[in-house]
A and B are shown apart, each in its own frame.
Chain A
Amino acid sequence: MDKKRTIIYVDDDVDDRELFKEAMLKTDGIINIVYANNGAEALEIMDNDNDLTQSLCLIVLDLNMPFLSGREIFNIIKTKDTLRNIPVAILSSGQNPNDILFFKEQGVPYFTKPDRYSEIEILADNLFKLCKK
């Protein structure tokens, strides 16, 4: 039985979380979404909830957040045995070439936050595919 059906979405933007939820609901699979406002909160959740961590199929990170940036969270995740093998995707409105290059080198998919509804569906499909891999 494939239990890995949970995505954790780390973003401080309330509107974006709503959109994300809407989009993921459109996908066929039953996906459980956990939200975190920032990196510290996300790490706290993942460090303390073993069952949840076990069920994670994808970690989706925004980049520009208070406390820890998405890149800092990514680096921390890669130091943790329990988390380092969970796939990560970046979902950011930023187009910073340094960030894009960094995640390309790390083999991490980098998605730009959509500015059209039609793109949201494509995005949701892509994230869903990452989760099923």
Chain B
Amino acid sequence: MNDIYDDIPCIYFSALANGSLINVNNTLCNYLGYEKSELLDSKLEKFFTLSTRIFQQTHLYPLLEIQGHAKEIYITLLTKNGEHLPILINAERIDNDGDFFYQFAGVSVNNRKKFEEEIIAAKKVAEKALNENEVLKATKIELEKNAEQLDYQIALFNNQNEDLRQFTHLATHTLQEPIRKLMLYSGESSLSNNNEIQFTSPQKIRKAVEELNNKLNGLQQYLWLTKDGMEIEQVDLGKLIYSIKQEIVDVNPGINILLELELMPTIDGNKEQLHFLITELFKNAVKFRKQENLVEIEITHTSLLLNKFKQLTGKYKYASYIKIEFKDLGIGIDENFNEQVFELFRVLKPDNGLGIGLSLSKKIIENHNGSISIEAKKGQYTKFVIQLPLNQ
């Protein structure tokens, strides 16, 4: 055999169909640790591992019979020491005037096999990481859901706390006033100028009892106005506002209401509660009007995205909201005391109602997961800013 083939950096061997080796090159002998002479008298099987032999009989030879060649076949050779040597070979069936023999040439793929193993190992790691990532993702979704639930619960808790606070104030203050007056009026009065026993007029007692009754009714309304069992439907705000305006005009004859209203959207909400809310805003505008016969109201709105998380900080999930600005050009109120208008039974002007409408309005807004605030300038205007989610 030519010297060039003997020492080129790839293995070469040829064999007859029965497996008897015809030729081997030095490179193969070096790889396997045999002398050339040891191999030339032998058969292929001498350096084929068992699995390679099976492969040879079941795949390689049939392939060569049919196609005449086979490429990039991966086999394992057995060295003299019994070690396994991975090889990638090309094989050809040579027709030598009717005598067939096979030629094999190949390269050792020891390193490549290592790389492959590493790739497989890396792939396994990646798959594992992917799986874990999916678990993480599921956990994250779960956590987010829980956070939303938690936020909702905190809001509910805060609302209930607020109810309790209002109730406590009511029990310790608001109800005490009429009760004290009743005690006073129902006792004998010694304040007359002569020494006769005098009693307070029944009208005064009646007035105190009415006050007590009104406040208890107000409290009942406030406490009943909860979220539980609140029916949600599509509410056309524009239509609702126009019908309320008409109701207000009907009960306030002689007063003109000049209403500037933008085209309003339809939102999710409880119709009765929203009706009550807007009615209160109208009543408020009428009560605190600047001119005897005229109430000027402007209602505008904008859409915006707001964080659904109201209680938890650092948590964000944006949803569509509508911001409604209800502005009346009335007498306004002192800006320092704006927020007091939402307190239960807070009457900012004496003899001016029960002080319950706006606290109920605030509760309605909270039932709808929204917010209400007031901006006002004394002598100029009062503006209620309401934010409500489009979808409940």
Chain A: residues with CB nearer than 8 A to chain B?
Answer: 12-15, 19, 22-23, 26, 37, 40, 64, 66-68, 93-96, 113-118, 120-121
Contacts and interface: CB of A to CB of B under 8 A. Distances in A.
A102 to B, nearest CB: 16
B302 interface: no
A23 B190 CA distance: 11
Interface in B335-363: 336-337, 340, 346-351
A76 B46 CA distance: 109
B189 A117 contact: yes
Contact of A96 (B172, B204, B337): B172
B191 A120 contact: yes
Contacts, number: 57
A26 B191 contact: yes
A84 to B, nearest CB: 22
A68 B172 CA distance: 18
A90 to B, nearest CB: 14
Interface residues of B, number: 25
Given A13-B177, A117-B190, A121-B191, A66 B183 contact: no
B184 interface: yes
B137 to A, nearest CB: 52
Contacts of B190: 117-118, 121
18 contacts: A40-B337, A64-B173, A66-B347, A66-B348, A67-B334, A67-B340, A68-B337, A94-B172, A94-B173, A113-B180, A114-B184, A115-B180, A115-B183, A116-B183, A116-B187, A117-B188, A117-B190, A117-B191
A44 B350 CA distance: 17
A93 B176 contact: yes
Contacts of B184: 19, 114-117, 120
B177 A67 contact: no
A59 to B, nearest CB: 20
B43 interface: no
Given A93-B176, A117-B188, 18 more contacts: A12-B347, A12-B350, A15-B208, A37-B349, A64-B173, A66-B346, A67-B336, A68-B337, A94-B173, A96-B172, A113-B180, A115-B180, A115-B183, A116-B187, A117-B191, A118-B190, A120-B191, A121-B190
A45 B349 CA distance: 17
B377 interface: no
Given A64-B173, A93-B173, A117 B334 contact: no
Question: Which 9 A-B residue pairings sit nearest by Cβ, starting from the closest?
Answer: A115-B183, A67-B337, A117-B189, A66-B348, A115-B180, A64-B173, A115-B184, A93-B176, A116-B187
B181 interface: yes
A96 B169 CA distance: 11
Contact of A93 (B180, B187, B204, B348): B180
A40 B334 contact: yes
A116 to B, nearest CB: 5
Interface string B159-187: 00000000000001100110011011001
Nearest to B207: A15
B340 A66 contact: yes
Nearest to A115: B183
Contacts of A116: 183-184, 187
Nearest to A17: B350
A114 to B, nearest CB: 7
Contacts of B180: 93, 113, 115
Interface string B318-343: 00000000000000001011001000
A23 B189 CA distance: 12
A63 B317 CA distance: 43
Nearest to A63: B173
B118 to A, nearest CB: 74
B184, B189, B340, B348: which has the most chain A beta carbons within 10 Å?
A: B184
A72 to B, nearest CB: 11
A92 to B, nearest CB: 9
Interface in B350-380: 350-351
Nearest to B169: A64
A120 B173 CA distance: 20
B342 to A, nearest CB: 12
Interface in B174-229: 176-177, 180-181, 183-184, 187-191, 204, 208
Contacts of B337: 40, 66-68
B17 to A, nearest CB: 110
A22 B191 contact: yes
A93 B351 contact: no
Contacts of B187: 115-117
B191 A14 contact: no
Contacts of A13: 177
Nearest to B188: A117
Contacts of A120: 184, 191
